[in-house]
Amino acid sequence: MSTDPQDPTTPGKPRRRRLGGPWARLAGWLVLAALLCVMTSTVEGTPTDHTLVLRQALGSAALLGWLAAGAAVWALLEAYRARGVGELIATRTAPVRRRGSDVAQRPLARRALVLVVVALAVAVPPLLSEFYQRVLVDQVAIFILLAVGLNVVVGWAGLLDLGYVAFFAIGAYTTGYFTRVLPVKPPFALNPFVILPVAVVVCLIAGLLLGAPTLRLRGDYLAIVTLGFHEIVQLFLVNKDNWTGGNQGAFGIPHFSIDLFGVHYTWTLSSLPYWYLFLVLLAVVVFLFGRLENSKVGRTWAAVREDEVAAAANGVPTVKYKLMAFSIGASTSGMAGVLYASRIGYINPASFPVVLSISVVSYVIFGGMGSLIGVMVGAAVLTFLPAVFQEQEIVNQQDITMWTGAILVVMMIFRSQGLIPSRRRKRELKLAAAGIAGADAVSGPAEGRAQ
């Protein structure tokens, strides 16, 4: 028997109640429900009555619904915790998941699945309304390309890049320059199809120029540098109005067009042609990146991400391979910039805020870092879902961002590896949870473990 006077089980000492029990958790959920009721209230306060919103929200019938929802979530989580539902589900579904994994490993099954997905991507958009077609092109397509490119940097090489959208802006303004819509004009104009490889090269060079002096940094320091790079690019676009048009931006960027071997076709404001063009570009990018992931370069990126010190000790030129990842990701962002500029026809510095970089990082994490399929699904879900909320009026327009953030929070709590994680990423997270290794190159040591 313990004789420690601080031990609550010591004779003669009153037993201390543990904080964070089920009733404390219930209280927390109810408080959260009340806060959500206040935050989603449509009543506005007045300069002389600062508590009007609180009185209206906490005295409305909607509060009862929110409290009931909070209590229901609490009850489900307590049942999940008490009965080991998670372990039970994992045990019961293990054979099915194992068979599904075995099928997914078969080349024929993988090809059939790819064909089904491609067929759906081609056949379903014409059945959608014009609103959802615009969402597919203006949101889903652009952010899938951005997420695939950032996955190389964050998911494969383990570099935290918060200035990624700067390369998106460089690609868009490269399009504006070579289509002669900026104040400074080249001696010739190019078709957007020709600008695609030009923008890829320009952004690749920009990635090299940024990465060469900064990629010896790691973690938060690298994130701060990339954030600063984004601010430099955006301020340059705003202040150099005699080059970039300043805050007014550039109008009249032409659409993609084909005039070759007797074939004449020009893309217009119609969404479907741009969607099919995006599918072709995405197929090329995914094919090349799939080969890259399984090459020596991809394996080297994995080694750098898992333990950069160990990789360097084994003779890996880490800066060189990180620079390659940074440049390749930047070039993909430039391709998305060309597609965006030609589709919209207008660009200005406000189109490329830093919050877009943070959004793309969240899409990569939500889908599953290191997984090409995962990041595409993550970007598609988190860009298409807000449009559904808006069109179907499921939630108030001003609350859409809040609900999207709530989905991210719940996802990170219950499935931190992402929707469709790569096998390598799942293994890293297990090792990180055990304190054996970091989950990626930007991870710190596990709490309570020696460095």
Q: What tens digit of pLDDT does each residue of 233-276 get?
A: 999 999 988 999 889 888 889 999 888 777 788 888 888 999 99
How confident is the model at residue 83, as a pLDDT? 58
pLDDT greater than 50 at residue 395: yes
| pLDDT interval class at 450 (50, 70, 90) | very low
Identify the weakest region by mean pLDDT among 35-44, 199-208, 215-224, 360-369.
Answer: 35-44
How confident is the model at residue 447, as a pLDDT? 41
Cα angle: 193, vertex 197, 201; to 5 degrees: 150
Mean pLDDT, range 129-148, rounded to an integer: 92
Backbone dihedral angles phi then psi of residue 209, each to the nearest 5 degrees: -65, -35
How confident is the model at residue 439, as a pLDDT? 53
pLDDT tens-digit map of 87-99: 555 565 556 555 5
Mean pLDDT, range 151-155, rounded to an integer: 92
Identify the weakest region by mean pLDDT among 158-167, 325-334, 404-413.
Answer: 404-413
From the CB of residue 294, how many other CB atoms can be counted at a distance below 10 Å?
10
Backbone dihedral angles phi then psi of residue 180, each to the nearest 5 degrees: 65, 40
Token pair in block for residue 171: 């690609």
Cα gap 148→153, rounded to integer Å: 9
How confident is the model at residue 31, as a pLDDT? 86
Q: Is 222 exposed, middle or buried (0-12, 13-18, 19+ CB in 10 A)?
A: buried
How confident is the model at residue 283, as a pLDDT? 93
Give the residue among 390, 436, 133, 419 at the shortest CA–CA distance from 272. Answer: 133
Token pair in block for residue 218: 């790691």
Residue 263's H or E segment, with its range, is strand 263-266
Position with higher pLDDT, 109 vs 280: 280
Percent of the chain with pLDDT over 90: 32
pLDDT greater than 60 at residue 9: no
Measured torsion, CA atoms of residues 87, 90, 93, 96, in degrees rounded to the nearest 10? -160
Cα gap 382→404, rounded to integer Å: 7
CA atoms within 13 Å, Cβ hemisphere of 129: 6
From the CB of residue 42, how many other CB atoms can be counted at a distance below 10 Å?
10
pLDDT greater than 70 at residue 317: yes
Which among 39-53, 378-392, 405-419 has the top mean pLDDT? 378-392
- Please name every residue paired with 251 in a beta bridge, in sequence order, or none if there are none: 346
Which sign, positive or negative, has the C-alpha torsion 403, 405, 408, 412?
A: negative
How confident is the model at residue 165, as a pLDDT? 93
84-91: long-range contacts, CB 8 A cutoff, minimum separation 24: none
Position with higher pLDDT, 406 vs 85: 406
Mean pLDDT, range 217-242, rounded to an integer: 89
